[in-house]
Homo-oligomer: A and B are copies of this chain.
Amino acid sequence: MKLDTRQAAELLKQQDNVLILMHKNPDGDTIGSGYALYYALTDMGKRAALACSDPIPDKYGYMTEPVQPLTEEPSFVVAVDIADVQLLGDLEETYATRVDLCIDHHMSNTLYAKDTCLYKTAGATCEIMTDIIGKLGTDITKRIADCLYTGTATDTGCFKYSNTSSHTHLVAARLIEAGADYVAINREMFDTKSKNRLLLEQAALSGMEFHFDDRCAVITVTREMFARTGAKEADLDGVSALSRQVRGVEVGVMLREKEDGSIKVSIRTTSWVNASDICRHFGGGGHIRAAGCVLNGPMEAAKARLLEQVEAALKEQAK
C-alpha cells in the first residue's frame, strides 16, 4: 500500500525491534535517513538497529554512532532510499521479501515492500524522513538534524540540482533551527577532497583538450594516472562533470582507459546537445544531459571516432 508521511509515522509508532536497511555503496542520503530514523526510534525507547551490505565510508563518521545488532529476529523491517531489492547487495537474499516499509524518493521504485512511502518529487529521502520524524512526536535532536541535513544537501548538490524544490529549502530551514552543523557538513561533503583525488584531478585536467571552437572539452584518464597518483576508482566520482565547467563548452567528454584496454566514455552536455544520442551510436545510452558508452582502444583511435560524432551533433544546431 502507498502511505503518506503521516500514515508512515503512525505505522512506525506501533513498532518495536525494528531493523533499518540502507542500500549498497551507501551515500549520504541512505545513511542520513537510516541513522536519523534509528536515533529517533531509540530516543522513543524502542529497540532498533541498522544494516548495510557495505561499510559506511569514514567521511560520514561525524553522524554515525556505533550501533548494536538486535538480539533477536527483527519484528519490522524498513528500507530507506532503496528503489529496488537488488540495491540491498548481500542483504538481498535475506530481506528481499521481508521489507515491511520502504521510504524513498526514486521514480524507479519497484514497490517491492509491503507498504511504501514514496514522494517522487522529493530531492532526497531525507526530506521525506524529516516530515515523518516530525510526526513521530519525538524531537528532531542535533544528531538527527545532522543526518537529515547531510542527505538533503548531498542528494541535491547543496541545493543546486533541479531536484531541489521549495520544500527542500523549508526542510533545510527546519534542520538548521534544530541545530544541524551545516557549515562543517558542507565543507566535508563539498569542499574537501583526498590528496590522491586532487592529484588525479590535476593529472586529468592538465591534459584537457578543446575542440570545435571550444564548444567541446575532453578529459583523458589513463591507467598510468591512477598508478602515479595512488588514486582509486572512487576518486573519479564527479570528475566527468568537470569536463563541462568551462564557459561556452556544450559537450564535455571524459575518456577513461580501463584495465582491459577498452575506453569508457562519459558525456555531459550543457543545454541542447543530446548526450544519449551520441552514446547510442556506440551501443551505449543514458540521459539527455549525461550518458555513457564503451569503445575499443587504443585511446587516440577511440577519441577520434567519438569526436566525429560530437562534431556531427554540434553541426546539427547550425541546420
Residues of B near A90 (CB, < 8 A) are: none
* Residue of chain B at shortest CB distance from A157: B186
- Bitwise interface map of A from 192 to 205 toward B, beta carbon under 8 Å scored 1, else 0: 11110010001001
* Residue of chain B at shortest CB distance from A166: B173
A-B residue pairs in contact (CB < 8 Å), sample of 20: A158-B158, A159-B182, A160-B183, A161-B183, A166-B173, A166-B174, A167-B173, A169-B169, A169-B176, A170-B170, A191-B241, A192-B245, A192-B246, A193-B246, A194-B246, A195-B246, A195-B247, A195-B248, A198-B246, A202-B206
* Residue of chain B at shortest CB distance from A201: B205
| 8 Å CB contact of A245 from B160, B198, B270 | B198
Residues of B near A182 (CB, < 8 A) are: 159-160, 164
* Residue of chain B at shortest CB distance from A174: B166
Cβ of B247 and Cβ of A191 under 8 Å apart?
no
Chain A positions within 8 Å of B, measured between CB atoms, are 158-162, 164-170, 172-174, 176-177, 182-183, 186-187, 190-195, 198, 202, 205-206, 208, 210, 214, 241, 245-248, 270
* Residue of chain B at shortest CB distance from A190: B160
Cβ of A198 and Cβ of B191 under 8 Å apart?
no
Copies of this chain assembled into the complex: 2
Residues of B near A167 (CB, < 8 A) are: 173
* Residue of chain B at shortest CB distance from A192: B247
| 8 Å CB contact of A202 from B177, B186, B192, B205 | B205
Beyond A166-B174, A193-B246, A194-B247, list 12 extra A-B contacts (CB 8 Å).
A158-B158, A159-B159, A160-B182, A160-B186, A160-B187, A164-B176, A164-B182, A166-B172, A166-B176, A193-B247, A195-B248, A202-B205
Q: Return A151 CB to nearest CB of chain B, in Å.
A: 15
Residues of B near A241 (CB, < 8 A) are: 191
Most buried by B among A158, A167, A247, A270: A247
